[in-house]
Amino acid sequence: MSTPRDLNICSNILETIGNTPMVRINAITRGATDATVLVKLETFNPGNSIKDRMAVRMIEDAEKSGALKPGGTIIEGTSGNTGMGLAIAAVVKGYRCIFTTTDKQSKEKIDALKAFGAEVIVCPTDVDPEDPRSYYSVSSRLEREIPNAWKANQYDNLSNTAAHYEQTAPEIWKQTDGKVTHLVVGVGTGGTVSGVGRYLKERNPRIKVWGIDTYGSVFKKYKETGIFDKNEIYPYVTEGIGEDFLPKNVDFSIIDHFEKVTDKDAAVMTRRLAREEGIFAGNSAGSAMAGVLQLREHFTRDDIVVVIFHDHGSRYLGKMYNDEWMRAKGFLEVTGMTARDLVAGRVGRAVCRGVQPSHRGGRADHERSRLLADFNHQSGARRRVAQRGAPVRPVRA
Ligand code: PMP
């Protein structure tokens, strides 16, 4: 048989990493900006996230340096996606994996790590990174105590940035034919924004690199003032982006601006991506897309904005894609109208923002429109409040 490469067959799953598609956003940007907005869909990687790229790169660099030896144990504090990449690579390369994560993370993410045979230790979110119970501290202790263990340390391991400089960025350059004008990326460890941003700026210094941050994270204030302000830190819901410390992989000199997006706006936009674009992406994709709309006045019709979508929606089925969870967080005002509400005349209570009269016609639609019109007439003030959205408050995870 010919070599797998000749037949376009991968010799193992790791060879399927990268070369992800780029897709144009249509409905969500219509009427908001004339710029072309393209999303790099990293969900197509085998672990369904961009982190597969840097996980393999970190392991291969550690193998080369001798830090990771055959039969060794990979330790990492991970919110799931890096763990998934490491776990997949560990299966193929024969390593054991132990991950520490926080109680804020989706259960789906943790179960997915276990599917690959990884051991997962869940630690409290609401403690300082230096606290011995934090997921950073626990993973460092495990590295010290387990023989032949290597901690990947995605935050400070610069192989993370290198993976994106060498793989993700050249793909974006090629896919846009070098015409990209803006890069918009959620920032966590900083590997993606720093690696991709540096490569693009080396080719065209006029390219703007915008990092998406969360309320509750230190990045934006640090970039704008040089002050690491602990008062900026509080628990938030958005997953994968924002931090309460400064990882070495965040190269602040590459990032032109940080834009903060609320938990609610990120969650609502995550759902819109599925419903309006057919793109089933994770929470940080929603945050990045909401950030693009917040920044829309800075774009012209000639701009080509590339947004990176880090991970897949399936990891958020219990959260942003779950109506109960969304309501409990106060992120979802749409409750829909049940038959019981109609019979009991509770239309005002049941119908909220997002439910629009149908234009398809028909008796049921007509009746629904009439009820909506009545409701809207009776409670215009309340409806206007709903349309503005609830005031932004820090949400405890
Ligand atoms: N989105 C998700 C879902 C992530 O898991 C991460 C990594 N923490 C990011 C965005 C941010 O990517 P980076 O760590 O490369 O800054």
Q: Does ligand 1 have an atom closer than 6 angstroms to the CB of 195?
A: no
The pLDDT tens digits for 239-259 are 999 999 999 999 999 999 999
179 belongs to the catalytic site: no
Question: Which positions of the chain have pLDDT values less than 50?
Answer: 347-397
Q: Which atom number of ligand 1 is nearest to the Cα of residue 195?
A: 15
Q: What is the 3-state secondary structure (H, E, C) of 333-352?
A: CCCCCCHHHHHCCCHHHHCC
> Given this model, what pLDDT does residue 135 score?
86
At 333 the pLDDT is 75
- Segment (H or E) for 325: helix 323-328
Instruction: Give the atom of ligand 1 at the shortest distance from the alpha carbon of 249.
Output: 16
Is pTM beyond 0.85 here? no
- Whole-number pLDDT of residue 130: 87
pLDDT at 382: 34
d(CA 180, CA 178): 6
Please tell me if the CB atom of residue 190 comes closer than 6 angstroms to any atom of ligand 1. yes
Which three-class secondary structure string do you get for 64-132? HHCCCCCCCEEEEECCCHHHHHHHHHHHHHCCEEEEEEECCCCHHHHHHHHHCCCEEEEECCCCCCCCC
Residue nearest to atom 5 of ligand 1 (CA): 240
Are the beta carbons of 79 and 157 closer than 8 angstroms? no
Q: Which of 41, 45, 51, 84 to mutate to test the pocket of ligand 1 (most atoms within 8 A of CB)?
A: 51
Q: How far is CA 385 from CA 14, 153, 327, 348, in A?
A: 50, 45, 16, 14
End-to-end CA distance of the chain: 54
| pLDDT of the residue at 283 | 96
Q: What pLDDT does residue 105 have?
A: 75
* Paired residues of 74 in beta bridges: 97, 150
What's the CATH code, domain 13-46+158-316?
A: 3.40.50.1100
Confidence (pLDDT) at 103: 86
What is the strand order of the sheet 22-24 is part of?
22-24, 36-41, 304-309, 182-186, 208-214, 257-261
